[in-house]
Structure 1
Amino acid sequence: MAGDTRVRLFHLPFSFMLPQRVASERGYFADEGLDVELVERDREDVDWKYIPAEETLTGDHGVDLYPICKWESIKRTWDMNDGHVVAKGTFADQPYTVYVRPESGIESPADLANVPVGVNERTGQEYTVVRALEEHMSPEDVAIEHQGMPTDRLRALRDGECEAISLLEPQSTLAEHLGFEPVLEFENHMGIVGATDLEGEALEAFMRAYDRAVRTINDEPDAFRDDYLSMLEMDAKVAPDLFEAVDRGELLREIEVPRYEAPEPADREEMSAHLEWMKRRQLIDGTADVDVIVGPAVQ
């Protein structure tokens, strides 16, 4: 690649996005000829979601690449014209888990029928939860409700404001230390959205650097424990009451760095199937076109 290509990369400070930071800080992006700027919001300034719900990242914020839930990537690119879907993946071996209070009487996924599961709406995770619940009940019996950030969801469950919540690690381990019980696990599906003019060589360079970071972390996970746990440390600052109820040292010792996976190029046929499900569920405009949603280079 001739010269450095400047890329503004939106960074979600979630445990499954650690490779982005590693690739940036260890110079892997630079080695591929990319001048990457991580665009990140301060956790203490975020009370709902990291990705603005009413503003485009590629337009209003000048971002070139951003990760987000796979189904939300479809919705944002169509409804908001916020770039094109260029990649997909689970990104890390850590599932979503639905938790309930031990006295709830909910013992299996089927027991969640007509029980609103707390999610953070407009982040995309609601679609992941709905898809997972549909495997255990009729679509008409699936229910979700907005309960905000992970710490807000944990408080709502603790205080009896909801009957079930969805979480990822490391907040899942915190939930178990608080005495909540898991009833359903399912994969976390992500997508990467690129600005219209970010295609070809620059995208390939990004994927190579990301893959290198994945291999680095997987080869020596303990070297990245502090980075991995930083999200939980930020949560402790905004929700100290949750951490006062547990043995913090024991909690941190129990949490392991997951095995990471590199994203793969988006698959047009797979994206089309996801889009059709969203249309059947009336989650997106019935005229939505997969050829507009995915990047021009996607096969």
Structure 2
Amino acid sequence: MSTNDTLLISPNHPVFDLPEIVAIEHGLFARHGLRVDFARADESAYDPSERDPIARRKEALFESESADVYNLCEWGGIDRLERGHRSGRIDHLRPAVVAQALVSFDPTLNEPHDLGGVPVAVNEFTGSHYTALHLLGNTLARQEIVVRHVGSPHLRLRALRSGDFRAAMLMEPFLSVALKEGAHLLGSYFYRGSQVVAPHLGQEGRDAYIVAVNEAVDLIHELPWHESARHIVREVEGELDPEELGRSYMRYTHARPFAPKRFHESYAWMKSWGLTEGRNDHRSLLGTG
């Protein structure tokens, strides 16, 4: 990629993209010789209940070469590279460390043990799905765990409100909205995500990208929190003010390498659940060979 090219990010939820949002807003990418922006797309063209991960907005933009990079959970990054048709690689673990929380309005559900046989609303093959399996798998027998695909966090919150589901996995800002409305926590699981990048992006550009987002992380910590919170709560406009969004369920650290040990642990876990055929390794998915 030349310095005259614009590197396009396929957008995720702002809670995950916050370092990139701040880096663009404050000119940090430009400071390191990069032109970076978010890919534009008509959101109405994408079904928020879409079951096929590759047909969802951020994946579809990458697959169609309308975007060069995007982030998602580490397990999802592995899945998309194995499932998709466009080649790519996992470059690093993103700065955003976010919790998916198991929440309910049902007073009879109070701990993960109560979820045996109870369907939990998730977005299949995303952080909400994988973390539900991690969270419940530490308590329940696998055959007792029931996760059901509903779709985006907007839809999962709606399913909770309507009573269609007694429990759901939610992240911020939807989590704070649910808690504000009287929902309660049954558990939470913090996780990093991975950054998927297109094959044409060179090492120099990728390194500059990481330096810029790390500087954005430092700036997030220096600025008053409401400066960052305003970006996150825009997904629930009118339901939550920036001042109402706490920092308990998200944090931002410098990007990290996806080390072989961690990769092998995550990949083995996915294989144990039948979430991958296991045909790849650290070298093939991270381009380390």
Say if 1:123 and 1:219 are closer, same or farther in 2 by CA, change over 3 A.
Answer: same
- 1:221-260 correspondence to structure 2 within 5 Å: 221-233=225-237, 243=239, 252-256=242-246, 259-260=251-252
Equivalent in the alignment of 1:261: 253
Cα RMSD between the aligned structures?
A: 2.6
CA deviation vs aligned residue, 1:220-250 (integer Å, no higher than 9, x gap): 12333322322221xx5xxxxxx4xxxx6xx
Equivalent in the alignment of 2:150: 147
The one of 71, 79, 84 aligned to 1:80: 84
Matched positions, count: 281
Say if 1:45 and 1:18 are closer, same or farther in 2 by CA, change over 3 A.
Answer: farther
- Offset of residue 163 of structure 1: 1.5
> Which whole-Å CA distance do the structure 2 matches of 1:33 and 1:260 have between them?
23
CA deviation vs aligned residue, 1:182-235 (integer Å, no higher than 9, x gap): 1111113311011122242111100000011111111112333322322221xx
- Offset of residue 85 of structure 1: 1.0
Say if 1:228 and 1:151 are closer, same or farther in 2 by CA, change over 3 A.
Answer: closer
- After TM superposition, the score normalised by the length of structure 1 is 0.84
Equivalent in the alignment of 1:240: none
One-letter amino acid of the structure 1 residue matched with residue 274 of structure 2: Q
Contact 2:9 / 2:39 at 8 angstroms: preserved in 1? Answer: yes
One-letter amino acid of the structure 2 residue matched with residue 219 of structure 1: E
One-letter amino acid of the structure 1 residue matched with residue 117 of structure 2: N
Q: 2:140 matched to 1:137? A: yes
Equivalent in the alignment of 1:290: 282
- After TM superposition, the score normalised by the length of structure 2 is 0.87
> Which whole-Å CA distance do the structure 1 matches of 2:121 and 2:136 have between them?
13
Contact 2:106 / 2:166 at 8 angstroms: preserved in 1? Answer: no
Q: 2:169 matched to 1:166? A: yes
Equivalent in the alignment of 1:13: 13
Say if 1:90 and 1:24 are closer, same or farther in 2 by CA, change over 3 A.
Answer: closer
Moved over 6 A (4+): none
One-letter amino acid of the structure 2 residue matched with residue 293 of structure 1: L
Instruction: Give ranges in structure 2 of 5+ residues lacking alignment.
Output: none
Instruction: Give ranges in structure 1 of 5+ residues lacking alignment.
Output: 237-242
Contact 1:218 / 1:259 at 8 angstroms: preserved in 2? Answer: no
Say if 1:26 and 1:288 are closer, same or farther in 2 by CA, change over 3 A.
Answer: same
> Which whole-Å CA distance do the structure 2 matches of 1:29 and 1:49 have between them?
33
> Which whole-Å CA distance do the structure 2 matches of 1:5 and 1:205 have between them?
14
CA deviation vs aligned residue, 1:48-87 (integer Å, no higher than 9, x gap): 1799624654442342211011101001112225411111
> Which whole-Å CA distance do the structure 2 matches of 1:19 and 1:12 have between them?
12
- Offset of residue 269 of structure 1: 2.5
One-letter amino acid of the structure 2 residue matched with residue 61 of structure 1: E
- Offset of residue 140 of structure 1: 2.1
SS of 1:264's partner is coil
- Offset of residue 45 of structure 1: 5.2
Say if 1:119 and 1:77 are closer, same or farther in 2 by CA, change over 3 A.
Answer: same
Say if 1:42 and 1:224 are closer, same or farther in 2 by CA, change over 3 A.
Answer: farther
Contact 1:90 / 1:189 at 8 angstroms: preserved in 2? Answer: yes
SS of 1:183's partner is strand
Contact 1:56 / 1:80 at 8 angstroms: preserved in 2? Answer: no
- Percent identity reads 27
